[in-house]
Amino acid sequence: MIIAMHQSKLNEEALILEAERKTTSLGRLTELAQSRLVSVRASVAGNIQTPVAVLESLSADHDYVVHCAVAENRKTPIIVLKKLAFDANQWVRNEVRENPNTPIEIKESIDVHGIDDFNLNNNENE
């Protein structure tokens, strides 16, 4: 039993390293995004090479850790950042605010008012 648990942990660590590697193929990143392991999905979401479509898909993941990684990724489209700005988890909203591609009006709204006071759909600067 202990050996099996150790092997499982080693396998998880190998998958995380593969998901983080910038040379991992786009196809393999797409596969890894379907992992049952949150740590692997979050590692894919944090990889700058991850395809935008995969980032969009991961933004709908059930785990806030994955949302944080998507929000932090500089490749995440603004439309996804806007969606994540409404996330129930403060850590996710913090990552949206810290992403250099997040429009300033969203950052300011998160800072000053909290996202509930800001209607992202009425942004005239899009």
Kindly state the helix (H) or strand (E) to which residue 41 belongs, with its residue range. helix 38-46
Rounded Cα distance between 13 and 7, Å, is 10
Q: What is the number of domains present in the chain?
A: 1
Provide the 8-state DSSP code for 80: H
pLDDT tens digit string along 104-119?
999 988 875 555 444 4
Range of the domain at 43: 2-122
Q: pLDDT by residue (tens digit) across 13-51?
A: 999 999 999 999 999 999 999 999 999 999 999 999 999
Position 56: which residue type?
A: E
- Does the pTM surpass 0.85? The reply is no
